Amino acid sequence: MNRVINQFTTRAETYSASANWISDEKLINTHIEACGQRSAGHLLELCCGTGMVGRKFSAAGWNVCGIDLTKAMAEEANRFFPCICSPAEEVPFLDGAFDVVLLRQAYFLLDNGQKVLEQAHRVLKPGGFFVFSQTVPFSAEDTPWLEHIHRTKQAQLQRFFTEADLAEELERTFFSVRETRRLMVRENITGWLAAAPELSPEKQTEVCALIAGAPEPYRTIHKVEAVDGQVLEDWNWVIFTAERKPGR
């Protein structure tokens, strides 16, 4: 846990502008749509970072609260909505407090993912939704190389997940998947790496080389290209809308 805190403390100043997935309007709007037909309500964002996504939900009419493990991230998010510095395994809110709980692109970093899902289940109102998303491989063909890239660039990765793995995690105990959305987002890998100061220049070069020089079919599936010295590729997002299992 301390290594995750250290990594994201280092990233806090550059985090908001580090990747399209943090600010992409279509991606964020897809998450808002995943909350169902509610026009507003009480929403908790777990692992909320600097609050870029929560701010969009606030603008859409939601009453947002956030928690983040990293003090520097939580302090930045707290400028825009109430945010508490806390691990997602220990959510400091009452049972049934929220209409929606949101967790984006963080599950692979968690020491105890099922404990976090238990907490999300606990603080959701009956009939509430858990919106759960992450980038995943497009298919079995790109899975091995994508996992190799992720393990090279992210030292804190606990487990590499496919879409099927994530659905299984959700449905193991606490949730039932109601709806699944998928979205492709174009990412500037060179720009993302420049905003990851914990990675040495040598490591950044290594990651770029793994993507730019990836074998087929990875290059075709991810539409890898180099433009003006920038390495670009497509990322595959899966966004689940899940319901609480009754009787838990």
Which stretches of the chain are DSSP H helices?
Answer: 2-11, 20-23, 25-33, 52-59, 71-77, 113-123, 143-153, 163-171, 189-194, 201-212, 218-222
Beta bridge partners, 133, equal 104, 239
Per-residue pLDDT tens, the chain, 248 aa: give them: 555 455 555 554 555 555 556 778 899 999 999 998 666 899 999 999 989 899 999 999 999 999 999 999 899 999 999 999 999 999 999 999 999 999 999 999 999 999 999 999 999 999 999 999 999 999 999 999 999 999 999 887 889 999 999 999 999 999 999 999 999 999 999 988 887 888 899 999 999 999 999 999 999 999 999 999 999 999 999 999 999 998 76
Q: What integer pLDDT is reported at residue 194 of this predicted model?
A: 83
- The residue ranges of every structural domain in the chain are 2-139+154-185+236-244
Hey, what CATH class is 2-139+154-185+236-244 in?
alpha beta
Q: For residue 91, what are the CA distances in angstroms to 21, 67, 96, 105, 207? A: 25, 8, 12, 18, 34
Taking a C-beta distance cutoff of 8 angstroms, is the pair 187, 234 a contact?
yes
In sequence order, which residues have a C-beta less than 8 Å from that of residue 88 and are 6 or more positions away?
Answer: 46, 47, 67, 69, 103, 106, 110, 116, 119
- The answer to whether the CB of 69 falls within 8 A of the CB of 87 is yes
What letters, b where the CB count within 10 A reaches 16 and e where it falls short, cover 137-162?
A: bbeeebeebbbebbebbbebeeebbb
Token readout for 19 is 């990747």
Task: Report the predicted TM-score, pTM, of the whole model to 2 decimal places.
Answer: 0.92
DSSP state of 176: E
What's the rounded Cα separation, in Å, for the pair 83 and 207? 33
- CA–CA dist 105, 108 (Å, integer): 7
DSSP string, 50-68: TSHHHHHHHHTT-EEEEEE
Backbone angles phi, psi at 107, to 5 degrees: -60, -35
pLDDT given at position 4 = 47
Token couple for 65: 């609260």
Interacting residues of 222 by C-beta distance below 8 A, sequence separation 6+: 138, 142, 211, 214, 233, 234, 235
pLDDT at 154: 85
Which DSSP letter does residue 217 get?
A: T
